[in-house]
Amino acid sequence: MRREPLIIGAGPAGCAAAITLARAGQQPDLIERTSGPTDKVCGDFLSADTIQRLRALGVDPAALGGAVIRHVRLIHGERVAEAVLPFPALGLSRRVLDDALLRRAQEAGALLRSGRSVRRIGVEDGLWTAVDDRGAFWMTETVFLATGKHDLRDLPRARPGGGAIGMKMYFSLRHDRMRELDGATELTLFPGGYAGLQPVEDGRAVLCVAVRRLEFHACGGGWGGLLAAIQATSRRFAAMLEGAVPLLPRPLAVAGIPYGYQAPAEAANGLFRLGDQAAVIPSLTGDGMAIATHSGRAAAEAWLSGLDSAAYHRDLLRTLAPQMRLAGLLHHAGMSGLTQAAATLAASWFPGLLRQAATHTRLRHRAVVGGVAGRPNPFEIASRSE
């Protein structure tokens, strides 16, 4: 009899796996290093696909107060290109969403071990063994790794040189600026990076910035210098933040984000990587949450169906390949001063380009794995705009 998988990380990917396993009668251990709801660097944009997946897991982001987003604006200098999104979307903070998912996982039957960090993990005699910072010990054939952008020391991802720096802050905007932002997500391009501003629940706005290390250090290597540098390139961006009140003591930050990373389909060793541990799609696409929830559920269903980790990773690679390729091209165009102006000009002339970019960077495939006749394919995705 197989031991139940150990799930490390209780974000959207880990909770999706836990809920799926628990609904099937399992009682997985879910290890989370934080002791309560916390803010995370990214993930506040929920596309229609993500909303559908969350509802299938028993969490309705609209009922949690998610702010409706219908438009996208691309900004470079003083030029603004705008289009209606090809799908409905919501802005919802990770603190609120993660808390709801975690409660749902516990209600389904998962065993939460919060406030614990895995210190050592490896394979001994064909079994995964893990030890946390309290000395607790686990032994299992299967590990679901869902630690987001943060690696475990014993299970690092292969990272490309450099990597981007990601930063995030919540703001209370001036009433007139919040009214102008209502229903839209704004992506401001600046030399070496891009900044996304959008509404979330409770009348707040969130600003997420992805910037190359070189440009970040060139503006002083701090949040204030970075904001000043972006404001100097765009009067609209400066105007939107005029009089804004930051709502966190300091910005959230993570360095070395390996955009474009995809976990290889290695030998079937019982390690299932989920979410950002499986694939890191560039932030400007806003589809990281769809990948997280899909990978968590797909991994759980693969395990329940008797498929090994290699089959799961091969399918995930195949499923994500088209959107990851396009997202990578858009990310490089959004980071490069050579293409930022041209991309914004083209989008202002042909707003349909923004809609096409949003459409084709979604997780909308129906992936097929060599399954068993008469058994539902655990990797099937049924994504419909609402």
* pLDDT score at 375: 34
3-state secondary structure of 208: strand
pLDDT, one tens digit per residue, over 336-366 is: 988 999 999 999 999 999 999 999 999 864 3
Residue 312's closest CA among 261, 266, 280?
Answer: 266
Structural domain harbouring 55: 6-68+92-159+260-334
3-state secondary structure of 77: coil
* pLDDT score at 376: 37
Q: Which amino acid makes up residue 23? A: R
pLDDT, one tens digit per residue, over 102-134 is: 999 999 999 999 999 999 999 998 899 999 999
* pLDDT score at 192: 95
109 Ramachandran zone, left/alpha/beta (phi>0; psi -120 to 50): left
362 belongs to a structural domain = no
For the chain, where are the E strands, in sequence order? 6-8, 29-32, 45-46, 67-76, 79-91, 111-114, 118-124, 127-132, 137-140, 143-145, 164-172, 184-190, 193-199, 205-212, 245-246, 252-257, 271-273
Up-side HSE of residue 341: CA atoms within 13 Å toward CB?
Answer: 7
Residue 278's closest CA among 158, 118, 122?
Answer: 158
What is the token pair recorded at 238? 């400066």
Q: pTM of the prediction? A: 0.92
The values of phi and psi at residue 329, to 5°, are -65, -45
Residue 166's closest CA among 212, 118, 220, 117?
Answer: 212
236 belongs to a structural domain = no
205 belongs to a structural domain = no
Residue 74's closest CA among 381, 349, 324, 361?
Answer: 349
239 belongs to a structural domain = no
119 belongs to a structural domain = yes
3-state secondary structure of 161: coil
Instruction: State the total domains in the chain.
Output: 1
Cα–Cα–Cα angle for 94, 95, 98, rounded to 5 degrees: 70
Pairing of strands 79-91, 67-76: antiparallel
Q: Is residue 261 within 8 Å of 280, Cβ to Cβ?
A: yes
List all residues 6 or more positions away from 338 whose beta carbon is below 8 Å from its beta carbon: none
73 belongs to a structural domain = no
* pLDDT score at 367: 35
Sites in the chain below the pLDDT cut of 70 = 1, 159-162, 364-386
What is the token pair recorded at 226? 């970075």
Q: What is the signed CA dihedral for 53, 356, 315, 312, rounded to 10 degrees? A: -30
What's the CATH number where 278 sits?
Answer: 3.50.50.60
* pLDDT score at 384: 33
What end-to-end distance do the CA atoms of the chain give, in Å? 42
What is the token pair recorded at 220? 């002083």
Residues 208, 85: Cα–Cα separation, whole Å:
19
